[in-house]
């Protein structure tokens, strides 16, 4: 099948670019002695998780238990669920899954770990636990070293759970490069306070799991980090380019769309709107727009209706025709993947692979 035979809108993955992104990250981790545990919430496709393992990842990360279930079903054997598992039903599902794969979870509360311990004991399985720290993003994670030490001690005392180390997510690094430099210093001050407290308590930290795509290639500068969990690096997106984290030629994912109307002056309408691209905003530069039209940098994806993408072409010198096709790099790849049943791996104009986005919509 060729790209021109695909119906639109269609999510295209440029395989050459994706393979380069995977190889580069794996090589960086090898050079710096870091374990790579890519976050698969970006693509939600077991075949791509396998490619990451093949290119050097030691295991994978997921956000939700439902994603973990899909990955285990596909045979992936070493998974970190980087999300607090809270509630009886979820703890029971986690314990059932731990019969089939090696699982770790990150969490920051006594409630979460007690529930997991209880279910794991009932099932006769063991679950690894990372204590989550807040290093400035202010989402999840303990803020005070004494709290983290106390939770680690509780984990050591509870049956069927194993304290493995610490985890943090530097989600506040979606800022400019100079700002990221400043934040890095602040994170290191915080991390060292935690390490000193664990040292004083005589608690061994085997794993410190950090990393994201914006911080990935500076991971070796984060104090004590042993593994990283970048997700978006596999594809990159407009925001990563805007933040200077990736170049345009590092963007593997684009959405193939068709121009369906040009009747309003200064406008071209394409057949993908918020149900194709998601409404996620551009988190760099002037914050405007919903994507980058590869064929025409002067066009602005100004607005999205549910099924219509509104291109402002008033500054463009290009002539737009109904029926022609464009490729648009979205603001945020992860939410795009979650909206599509299948995506196409392409090389040149050939479609080499059709992948089902098996874990899309697995929010439970
Ligand atoms: C806990 C956690 N780890 C890792 C990542 C991956 O980071 P990125 O999306 O920047 O690749 C995310 C992303 O949301 C996350 O929430």
The CA 212 to ligand 1 mean position distance, Å, reads: 5
Given ligand 1 and candidates 131, 169, 209, 230, which is best to mutate, with the most ligand atoms within 8 Å of its CB? 169
pLDDT value, residue 224: 98
**What number does CATH give the domain 240-356?**
2.40.37.20
The CA 169 to ligand 1 mean position distance, Å, reads: 7
Given ligand 1 and candidates 213, 231, 234, which is best to mutate, with the most ligand atoms within 8 Å of its CB? 231
- Dihedral sign of CA atoms 108, 114, 115, 121 in order: positive
Give the residue, by CA position, lying nearest to ligand 1 atom 16.
169
The CA 125 to ligand 1 mean position distance, Å, reads: 27
197 token code pair: 């407290």
Q: Which residues pair with 291 in a beta bridge?
A: 330
Domain range summary for the chain, segments of one domain joined by +: 16-235, 240-356
Q: What angle do CA 359, 360, 364 make, to 5 degrees?
A: 75
195 token code pair: 């390490």
Strand, helix or coil for residue 197 = helix
Task: Report which of 88, 84, 46 is spatially closest to residue 65, judged by C-alpha positions.
Answer: 84
Q: What is the pLDDT of residues 138-158, one digit of tens each?
A: 999 999 999 999 999 999 999
pLDDT value, residue 27: 98
Distance CA 202, CA 322 (A): 69
* Whole-structure pTM value: 0.97
Q: What is the pLDDT of residues 243-280, one digit of tens each?
A: 999 999 999 999 999 999 999 999 999 999 999 999 99
Q: Given 3.40.50.10790, 3.20.20.10, 2.60.40.1840, 3.10.129.10, which CATH number is that of 16-235?
A: 3.20.20.10
Q: How distant, in Å, are the alpha carbons of 59, 179, 223, 361 from that of 355? A: 21, 38, 38, 15
Given ligand 1 and candidates 229, 252, 336, which is best to mutate, with the most ligand atoms within 8 Å of its CB? 229
Q: Which atom of ligand 1 lies at the shortest distance from residue 229's CA?
A: 4
Given ligand 1 and candidates 21, 41, 208, which is best to mutate, with the most ligand atoms within 8 Å of its CB? 41
Distance CA 305, CA 315 (A): 22
Give the residue, by CA position, lying nearest to ligand 1 atom 14.
171
Give the residue, by CA position, lying nearest to ligand 1 atom 2.
169
pLDDT value, residue 132: 98
Q: What angle do CA 188, 189, 191 make, to 5 degrees?
A: 60
Q: Which atom of ligand 1 lies at the shortest distance from residue 42's CA?
A: 9
Tell me whether the omega of the peptide bond preceding residue 9 falls within 30 degrees of 0, making it cis: yes
Strand, helix or coil for residue 224 = coil
Ligand 1 is surrounded, with C-beta below 6 A, by 39, 82, 169, 212-214, 229-232
Q: What is the pLDDT of residues 288-337, one digit of tens each?
A: 999 999 999 999 999 999 999 999 999 999 999 999 999 999 999 999 99
Task: Report which of 232, 235, 258, 238 is spatially closest to residue 3, judged by C-alpha positions.
Answer: 258
Tens place of pLDDT for every residue, the chain, 364 residues?
999 999 999 999 999 999 999 999 999 999 999 999 999 999 999 999 999 999 999 999 999 999 999 999 999 999 999 999 999 999 999 999 999 999 999 999 999 999 999 999 999 999 999 999 999 999 999 999 999 999 999 999 999 999 999 999 999 999 999 999 999 999 999 999 999 999 999 999 999 999 999 999 999 999 999 999 999 999 999 999 999 999 999 999 999 999 999 999 999 999 999 999 999 999 999 999 999 999 999 999 999 999 999 999 999 999 999 999 999 999 999 999 999 999 999 999 999 999 999 999 999 9
Strand, helix or coil for residue 81 = strand
Strand, helix or coil for residue 55 = coil
The CA 291 to ligand 1 mean position distance, Å, reads: 21
Give the residue, by CA position, lying nearest to ligand 1 atom 11.
231
């Amino acid at each position: 099948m060729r790209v021109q035979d695909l119906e639109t809108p269609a999510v295209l993955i440029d395989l050459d670019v994706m393979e380069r992104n995977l190889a580069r990250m794996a090589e960086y981790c090898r050079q710096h002695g870091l374990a790579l545990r890519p976050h698969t919430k970006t693509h939600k496709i077991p075949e791509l998780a396998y490619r990451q393992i093949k290119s050097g990842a030691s295991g994978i990360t997921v956000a939700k238990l439902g994603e973990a279930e899909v990955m285990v079903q596909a045979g992936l054997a070493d998974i970190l669920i980087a999300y607090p598992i809270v509630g009886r039903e979820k703890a029971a599902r986690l314990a059932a899954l731990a019969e089939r794969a090696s699982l770790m979870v990150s969490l920051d509360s006594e409630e979460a770990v007690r529930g997991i311990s209880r279910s794991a004991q009932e099932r006769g399985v063991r679950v690894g636990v990372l204590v989550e720290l807040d290093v400035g993003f202010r989402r999840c994670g303990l803020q005070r070293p004494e709290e983290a030490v106390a939770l680690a001690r509780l984990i050591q005392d509870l049956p069927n759970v194993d304290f493995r180390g610490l985890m943090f997510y530097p989600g506040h690094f979606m800022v400019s490069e100079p700002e990221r430099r400043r934040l890095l210093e602040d994170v290191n001050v915080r991390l060292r306070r935690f390490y000193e407290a664990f040292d004083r308590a005589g608690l061994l930290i085997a794993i410190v799991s950090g990393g994201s795509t914006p911080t990935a290639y500076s991971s070796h500068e984060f104090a004590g980090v042993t593994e990283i969990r970048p997700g978006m690096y596999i594809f990159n997106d407009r925001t990563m380019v805007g933040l200077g984290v990736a170049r345009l030629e590092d963007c593997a994912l684009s959405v193939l769309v068709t121009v369906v109307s040009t009747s309003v002056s200064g406008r071209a309408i394409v057949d993908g709107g918020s149900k194709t691209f998601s409404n996620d905003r551009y988190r760099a530069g002037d914050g405007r727009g919903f994507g980058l039209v590869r064929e025409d940098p002067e066009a602005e994806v100004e607005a999205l209706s549910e099924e219509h993408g509104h291109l402002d072409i008033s500054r463009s010198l290009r002539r737009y025709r109904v029926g022609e096709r464009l490729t648009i790099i979205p603001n945020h790849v992860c939410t795009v993947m979650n909206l599509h049943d299948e995506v196409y791996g392409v090389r040149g104009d050939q479609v080499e692979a059709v992948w089902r986005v098996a874990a899309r919509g697995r929010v439970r």
